[in-house]
Structure 1
Amino acid sequence: MASPLWNILCTCLIIFMAAKNTCVVEAGRQFKVGDHLGWHEPVPSNDVFYIQWAERNRFQVGDSLLFEYQNDSVLSVEKTDYLNCNASNPITAFDNGKSIMNLDRPGPFYFISGTQDHCTNGQKLLVEVMSQHPIPKSSPSPSISLPPQVSSQMSPSPSPYASDDSFGDSTSASASVVSGPVPMVSLVTFAIVLMLKP
């Protein structure tokens, strides 16, 4: 028979696993602006580099941007200053070579280089931040779908070796998988019953 301490440890572990499975909270992600190239003046033939970089990523409230650069700066600005590469009225300005900007609200964020020519040549960034979707308080109960009703007039099943392509990728099984917290709750209940058995 297992010791009481072992039973308590197993129970705590199972409860922790059940809780982890049922409520997942994702922390904000950090995006390195420009990926491995960092924050720099784009080459003349690629002045849309940062536009394309922003389009490849999805930003949510709680995420952050990491700007890494040398002999340059990054300024957070208003939309008109972004469009005109105006560095004279920044919201925030950094020139330390490694700057982190927190995306703390939904909507657009505008960034430019503090060097006029760099910004004019495409070293500016617009990111659109999406709001986080609230986590529902309770998940709907999983449902099990039943296979379709079979008519009273039975017809033979097609051969699995038939050469007709109509049975290729278009066939589907009518089975469903139950997922979510229900299997974990069943597992926890089963484990507790086993531990309480004399």
Structure 2
Amino acid sequence: MSHLFKCVILFIMLCTTAARDFKVGDHFGWHVPDPTDTSFYTHWAERNRFQVGDSLVFEYENDSVLSVEKWDYFQCDASNPITAFDNGKSILNLDSAGAFYFISGTAHHCSRGQKLLVEVMSPQHHPVPVPESPPPSLLAPQGISPSPMSPSPEAFSPVASSPYDSIEEDSASIMLSSSAVMAPFATFLVVLLLAL
């Protein structure tokens, strides 16, 4: 019985995921992408899974990183950032679920692809695809300038609702589709078998 208790404690410890630091752009860092790969940061974000508590590490030279509203992200407007950093290495904590928008503060870098949209999930949610271009409803008609947007809670809401949002909490919690859950579960089974 003592071995079973130790196995359960070990399983619980393995299931708790530690926050991770993501170096934006991996080895490339935070720079203007190659003209043939202007979706570089979109693809980078799609390859990663961001959870509440994780951090983004921006490393750059002679540049900056701005946290902006959704409209400013799609329009590459650096005039009204939520926060701005220019120290060469900026670490930003993803402290809530939803979309976070980042652009370069250097002129014309954003329009050349140096922008990042990350979708941060709470532990019980699944990834949502991130659109590469703004939905038509976000584009202002020609000749009409958009009214300035003030920061609002909607700015950090998910880009789209997850199809799993309607599933009851109990059934969502038993879904074992994530490798982050499967690895500790497999470890638990191995330890349990060894303990017997």
For residue 121 of structure 1, what is the aligned residue in structure 2? Answer: 112
Could you list the per-position Cα deviations for residues 149-173 of structure 1 after superposition, in whole angstroms to 9, with x for gaps in the alignment?
A: xxxxxxxxxxxxxxxxxxxxxxxxx
Q: Is the 8 A contact 1:77 1:90 kept in 2?
A: yes
What pairs up with 1:47-126 in 2 under 5 angstroms? 47-126=38-117
State how far apart, in whole Å, the 2-side matches of 1:89 and 1:17 are. 52
Q: Does 1:29 align with 2:20?
A: yes
For residue 153 of structure 2, what is the aligned residue in structure 1? Answer: none
Q: Does 1:130 align with 2:121?
A: yes
State how far apart, in whole Å, the 1-side matches of 2:187 and 2:34 are. 50
Q: Is the 8 A contact 2:7 2:188 kept in 1?
A: no
For residue 46 of structure 1, what is the aligned residue in structure 2? Answer: 37
For residue 170 of structure 1, what is the aligned residue in structure 2? Answer: none
Q: Does 1:19 align with 2:5?
A: no
Structure 2, unmatched stretches of 5+, are 126-168, 175-185
Cα gap change, 1:120 to 1:130, in 2 (>3 Å): same
Could you list the per-position Cα deviations for residues 115-140 of structure 1 after superposition, in whole angstroms to 9, with x for gaps in the alignment?
A: 1211110000001111112998xx99
1:22 Cα deviation from its structure 2 partner:
3.5
TM-score, normalised relative to structure 2: 0.61
Q: Tell me the SS of whatever aligns to 2:11.
A: helix
State how far apart, in whole Å, the 2-side matches of 1:185 and 1:19 are. 15
State how far apart, in whole Å, the 1-side matches of 2:188 and 2:38 are. 46
For residue 142 of structure 2, what is the aligned residue in structure 1? Answer: none
Aligned residue pairs, count: 138
What pairs up with 1:182-197 in 2 under 5 angstroms? 184=192, 187=195
Which amino acid is 1:84 matched to?
Answer: Q
For residue 169 of structure 1, what is the aligned residue in structure 2? Answer: none
1:17 Cα deviation from its structure 2 partner:
5.9
Q: Is the 8 A contact 1:18 1:185 kept in 2?
A: no
Q: Tell me the SS of whatever aligns to 1:54.
A: helix
Structure 1, unmatched stretches of 5+, are 1-10, 141-177, 191-198
Sequence identity, in percent? 59
Q: CA RMSD in A?
A: 3.2
> Structure 1: which 4+ aligned runs deviate by more than 4 Å?
13-18, 178-181, 183-187
Cα gap change, 1:51 to 1:184, in 2 (>3 Å): same
State how far apart, in whole Å, the 1-side matches of 2:192 and 2:28 are. 44
Q: Tell me the SS of whatever aligns to 1:108.
A: strand
Cα gap change, 1:101 to 1:179, in 2 (>3 Å): closer
Cα gap change, 1:179 to 1:94, in 2 (>3 Å): closer
